[in-house]
Amino acid sequence: MTRQTRTIVFGITCIVAIALPIAYVAFTRRAAPASASTAYVPLTRIKPGERGVLFRSTVPDESFGKVAFVPLAHPESRWLLSNLACDRVYFQHGRGVCEALDSTLLPPYAVFVFDDRFVPGEKRPLAGVPSRARISPDGRYAALTVFQSGHSYAETGFSTATTIHDAATGGALANLEVFKVSREGQEFSAIDFNFWGVTFANDGNRFFATLRTAGVNYLVEGDVAQRSARVIHVGVECPSLSPNNQRIAFKKRISGSTTVFWQIAVLDLQTNKETMVDWEKRSVDDQVDWLDDDEVVYHLPKSEGADIWAVSVDRAEPPRVLIAGGYSPSVVR
Amino acid sequence: MYQAEPATTRASVTELLTLRGLHISANVWFLGLTSLFTDISSEMVSSILPAYLVLQLGLSPMLFGAVDGLYQGIGSLVRWIGGAAADRSSRHKELAAFGYGISTLCRIGMLMAGSAWTAVTALVALDRIGKGFRTAPRDALISLSSSRSDLGAAFGIHRALDAVGALLGPLLAFAVLAQSPRAFDQVFVVSFAVAIVGLACILLFVENVRSQQVAAPRFAAASLLGPLRQREFQIVLAVASVLAVATISDAFVYLLLQRSAHFGPQLFPLLAATTAISYVLLAVPAGRVADRVGRGRVFILGHVTLLGVYAMLWLSNGAVFPIAVCVLLLGSYYAMTDGVLAAATTAILAPEVRGAGLAFLGTAVSLSRLTASVLFGWTWTRHGPTVALSVFASALIVGILAAGTYRIQFESSRP
């Protein structure tokens, strides 16, 4: 090839490189399904005492990405749809928290709290990809977990950051990494401490969370006011405290050579006995939430979006779809 | 550290910032552009990968941690194969292009993988294999295309272009996402398009360089282990490894800064970007100075700069000034060591063993860095950050002094 030919070929390559994304966008936009409008009822308020499930919609229509609500009394009824777009959402005692992708920030993630009328508070930057969100039953605190990727060019490792926030304003109060942690009465600390998956007790101050260090996942019981926590169990990820505060449902990592499998399990806090909920045979990668003291809910991905499922932790009955097309369930009691 | 003659210094000041008086081969520029476009492409994907996994696929990125150790092993093996193959065939361009091609295919693969996380994991691994494979043939070709007296400048230009790509990639990715939120597929398509341009640069404009002495067919072992028998190479390998063991990784530097300043982790990207900008600006001048005063000297001086980073970490009280100085020094350290080490190494290796030699060096340095990270993390956990910092600073001082005693041999790489 002469120099001239090469330059021409390069020019053509550049034109193709510019045309390709434009053509792709044009093509996929045309191929997008016409939004089948299902006339949602606007969600303007969750009244005190109203029971239901708040979640994120993954249905590819106008509801996509928005927060919706289904009353527990009529789970089949038409969704109530809010204007808030969230990736993770949680609501308790008249206060909600929303973690969302926000392209105006860098890194592009934000968090804000909202009230029972879905009026959002101040938007604050998040340090990583939203992973978990919880609000204490008394509506005092919010707990957030985000994933942070390795900061160096050569690293692929991920770490988590878990912070406690004031649920009224959304302002950060503390990172769990500053909490004093003990194990068997001894002070316990390491640089590779990673916390995730907070669940609050009914008093709003006591909490449980996963602590990972040196490849081991511990269950810690913590105290927000004291800024302290102690290890109480091993092998627990994403704990979720039952409404009567007696049991913890969690995802248990079943070791596999190449794949990771998470089985729902339940830990009785009185007897310290673990029960596997192995009638849910699929891997559940979510922080489950309790529908009541018997059933837990969680999302499972499907080819397009996700569904919210419910399963009893005591009765070996097959799991059921609670909300088709839902994601990030938050049981409102 | 060194005393340059005043005349040399005065002459170089104006020349350092311009490229005047340099004879940089078109190969170096086009390999630099290939790296620039490829890095834009790969950093686009890696910067949004966590968000894609978690928000789009609903997966937990913890899935990736488990296979990290495996990557290290595979990476070293593939790097070695790439280097040795380049030495034996002297088809550096084709081998490097093959490595870039693998990564380009991975971009379009991301689009097709959809929600199959095993496929996504495989693609991330395959991308790394492509990267490992191409590095040694590419660096060998840069050295073969440059005159011995300009090696530092040539590698400086390449590394600066490479770092520009790494800076622009995340910005382009977030720009695409800002245009249409959640359009991760569009990010993959743009990334693929950018990778094609990079691939075109190497395929169309880079040419193989025939080394003067045609390599006679050798025993595999001779060409693979050949560089290890050369005393000068042994010294470079030892010096680079020892200093790398005393090097605190970026992640820990930023973490230490964050602890001292109590700023939110959302400022991490700013620290990384400032480091990269200072690296980009200083890579070529550092390479040129290295060509003049000796690459070993600048390499060691780079580690003295790293000692400055440790000192700033020590002094840092959370004020903006020491933090800014710290990351600027960190960028200077990279500018004075990364390309300069490649230049120093290739200057002492015969053309037919450069690929294997670079692969050995790459593996030795990355294993040393891994060791350093493990040691630093362990020391921090057991004895706290102050002790860890003191231990590493002491080790670095010992390393610099030890490297200094070997400088005579190292300096024989001088033109």
pLDDT category, B322, cuts 50, 70, 90? confident
| pLDDT of A23 | 93
| pLDDT of A89 | 96
- Average pLDDT over chain B reads 84
Tokens representing B169 are: 């990639």
- The 3-state DSSP composition of chain A as helix, strand, coil percent (nearest 5) reads 10, 45, 45
Using DSSP, state whether A300 is helix, strand or coil.
strand
Measured between CB atoms, which of A13, A125, A151 is closest to B250?
A151
Q: Is it the case that residue B80 has pLDDT exceeding 60?
A: yes
Q: What is the value of ipTM here, to two decimals?
A: 0.82
Query: Residue for token digits 């001048």?
Result: B285
| pLDDT of B255 | 79
| pLDDT of B265 | 60
Helix H or strand E encompassing A178: none
Closest by alpha carbon to B91, among B355, B348, B349, B346? Answer: B355
Mean pLDDT of A41-54: 92
Q: Is it the case that residue B414 has pLDDT exceeding 50?
A: no
Q: Indicate yes or no: CB of A25 within 8 angstroms of CB of B204.
A: no
Q: Is it the case that residue B405 has pLDDT exceeding 90?
A: no
| pLDDT of B115 | 67
Q: What distance in Å separates the CA atoms of residue B72 and residue A264, rounded to the nearest whole number?
A: 33
| pLDDT of A157 | 54
| pLDDT of B266 | 65
Closest by alpha carbon to B90, among B22, B141, B51? Answer: B141
Determine the residue among B41, B60, B128, B333 to mutate to test chain A binding: the one whose Cβ has the most chain A Cβ atoms within 10 Å.
Answer: B60
pLDDT category, B5, cuts 50, 70, 90? very low
Burial B239-277 (b: 16+ CB within 10 A, else e): bbbbbbbbbbbbbbbbbbbbebbebbbbbbbebbbbbbb
| pLDDT of B15 | 65
pLDDT category, B138, cuts 50, 70, 90? very high
Contacts of B3 (CB under 8 A, 6+ apart): none
Determine the residue among B42, B62, B128, B135 to mutate to test chain A binding: the one whose Cβ has the most chain A Cβ atoms within 10 Å.
Answer: B62
- Average pLDDT over chain A reads 89
Residue of A nearest to B63 (CA): A260
Q: Is it the case that residue B412 has pLDDT exceeding 60?
A: no
| pLDDT of B252 | 83
Q: What distance in Å separates the CA atoms of residue B355 and residue B337, rounded to the nearest whole number?
A: 19
CB pairs under 8 A between A and B: 140
Q: Is it the case that residue A80 has pLDDT exceeding 80?
A: yes
- The 3-state DSSP composition of chain B as helix, strand, coil percent (nearest 5) reads 85, 0, 15
Q: Is it the case that residue A220 has pLDDT exceeding 60?
A: yes
Residue of B nearest to A129 (CA): B51
pLDDT in tens, A52-75: 999 999 888 888 889 999 998 887
Contacts of A327 in chain B (CB under 8 A): 58
pLDDT in tens, A230-266: 999 999 999 999 999 999 999 998 866 556 788 999 9
Q: Indicate yes or no: CB of B366 within 8 angstroms of CB of A154.
A: yes
Amino acid type, B316: S
| pLDDT of B70 | 60
pLDDT category, B222, cuts 50, 70, 90? low
Report for B178-192, B214-228, B281-295: range of highest mean pLDDT:
B281-295
